Chain A
Amino acid sequence: MNRRPNISRQTRAVFAALAARSQAWRHGYDLSRETGLKSGTLYPLLIRLHDQGLLEAEWRPSDPPGRPPRHAYRLTAAGVALARESAAAAAEPAVGALSGAVA
């Protein structure tokens, strides 16, 4: 039997935001606005995902040019896989509840 990943709501929100455009490099502020997470919640999460090899992080030139570089993030292949698994696991109870209601 597959074990469902035990992933917090905040982590799922970050996974969803990053997985929506998995090839794009995203910034902390941008992720904070999209997920509704404060920086004090978001950054510890990003750090942990990075430590676990689920997130790539690198300094990228700023847009517009001439400003200091910015740290940018995107999921690794393992991160994308876990994000999909987490999205599927999160959808499962809703599907179960819906089938129960229909029956």
Chain B
Amino acid sequence: MIPARRFADALAQAAVSASPPERREWAEAMRAEVDHLPDSDAAAFAAGCLWTAVRARVDSAGFVLGAARWGLVLAAILWAGLHLRLAGRMSAADAALPEALSYAAAAIYALGALATALFGLRVTAVLATPVLGLTAIYAAAAATLMPQSPNRAFYQALAVEEVAVLLAALLIALVAPRWAAARTVAAAAKP
């Protein structure tokens, strides 16, 4: 078998592997077509087939939901780790409250990551909403809670950052399923 044909076959096989389950028959159809092509055209044709399969995979609702879910899990684990590191480095005498909250946040993010991994985005939204509310209240009250602290602006900034991160996570958890559904409908309706 000549190298160009072997390369084309490998591309066509990759297209089958890359395609989402609902498009597997089409990927098999493309691979079968590559089998019937002259060697000179097979590689370019198979490359287009692979592109089609990858696009179908990325466009599939499952991929969008999976990317959102596992992206949030990864981000929550990283964020929990950052909170642990931050809490461990707080040494100012007035840092008892932010330090305790940082440890609590690390635990909440770790729990959120686990729950999202096990149960999906709906649970992320359910967990993030009350935490967001409480964090927003803390962010608004941080300066009042520590009136004597020279670092109160810093602690307040951390709380505001926390609100922004939680808001982003909540938006992703709420929007991703709707976006995936809308993409499916739009793709089916496109002339």
Could you list which residues of chain A lie within 8 angstroms of chain B, going by C-beta atoms? 5-8, 11, 27-29, 32, 38-44, 47-48, 51-52, 57, 59, 62, 67-71
Given A28-B30, A29-B45, A44-B56, also A6-B51 (CB < 8 A): no
For B187, what are the chain A residues with a Cβ–Cβ distance below 8 Å?
48, 51
Q: Which residue of A lies closest to B188 (CB)?
A: A51
Choose among A39, A41, A43, A70 the residue that contacts B36 (Cβ–Cβ < 8 A).
Answer: A70
Given A28-B30, A47-B23, also A38-B48 (CB < 8 A): yes
For A51, what are the chain B residues with a Cβ–Cβ distance below 8 Å?
187-188
Q: Are A29 and B37 in contact (CB under 8 A)?
A: yes
* Chain B contact surface mostly: helix
Q: Are B51 and A40 in contact (CB under 8 A)?
A: yes
Given A48-B187, A51-B188, also A40-B33 (CB < 8 A): no
Interface centre among A39, A40, A41, A48, by most chain B C-beta atoms within 10 angstroms, is: A39
Choose among B32, B49, B55 the residue that contacts A70 (Cβ–Cβ < 8 A).
Answer: B32
Q: Are B33 and A67 in contact (CB under 8 A)?
A: no
Choose among A7, A32, A44 the residue that contacts B191 (Cβ–Cβ < 8 A).
Answer: A7
